[in-house]
Chain A
Amino acid sequence: GENVEQHPSTLSVQEGDSAVIKCTYSDSASNYFPWYKQELGKRPQLIIDIRSNVGEKKDQRIAVTLNKTAKHFSLHITETQPEDSAVYFCAASMGKIIFGKGTRLHILP
Chain B
Amino acid sequence: DAGVIQSPRHEVTEMGQEVTLRCKPISGHNSLFWYRQTMMRGLELLIYFNNNVPIDDSGMPEDRFSAKMPNASFSTLKIQPSEPRDSAVYFCASSLARARAEAFFGQGTRLTVV
Residues of A in contact with B (beta carbons under 8 Å apart): 1, 31-32, 34, 42-46, 49, 51, 89, 93, 95-102
Report B64-90 residues with CB < 8 Å from chain A CB: none
A89 contacts B42, C-beta separation under 8 Å: yes
Q: Say whether B42 contacts A101, CB under 8 Å.
A: yes
Interface pair B55/A97, CB less than 8 Å apart:
no
Within 8 Å CB of B93, what residues of A? 97
Q: Is the CB of B91 within 8 A of A93?
A: no
Least Cβ–Cβ distance between A90 and chain B, in angstroms: 11
Total A-B pairs in contact (CB under 8 Å)?
Answer: 54
Residue of B nearest to A93 (CB): B100
Contact indicator per residue, chain B 47-67, by CB within 8 Å of chain A (1) or not (0): 010100001101000000000
Assess whether B25 is interfacial by the CB under 8 Å rule.
no
- Residues of A close to B104: CB separation below 8 A: 46
Within 8 Å CB of A96, what residues of B?
33, 45, 48, 55-56
Task: State A16–B103 Cα separation when bound (angstroms).
Answer: 30
Question: Which residues of chain B have C-beta atoms less than 8 A from A51's C-beta?
Answer: 100
In the bound complex, do residue B45 and residue A43 qualify as a contact, i.e. CB atoms below 8 Å apart? Answer: no
Say yes or no: is B13 at the interface (Cβ < 8 Å to chain A).
Answer: no
Chain A nearest CB from B13 CB (Å) reads: 21
Question: 9 nearest interchain CB pairs?
Answer: A101-B42, A32-B100, A43-B105, A99-B43, A96-B48, A51-B100, A46-B102, A44-B105, A102-B42
From B58, B103, B106, B108, contact of A97 by CB (8 A): B103
Is A34's CB under 8 angstroms from B102's CB? yes
Q: Are B42 and A44 in contact (CB under 8 A)?
A: no
Name 6 A/B residue pairs within 8 A (Cβ), A-sorted: A43-B106, A46-B102, A95-B99, A97-B33, A98-B45, A102-B43
- Specify which chain A residues have a CB less than 8 angstroms from the CB of B56 in the assembled complex: 96
Q: Which residue from A34, A42, A49, A99 sits with its C-beta under 8 Å from B45?
A: A99
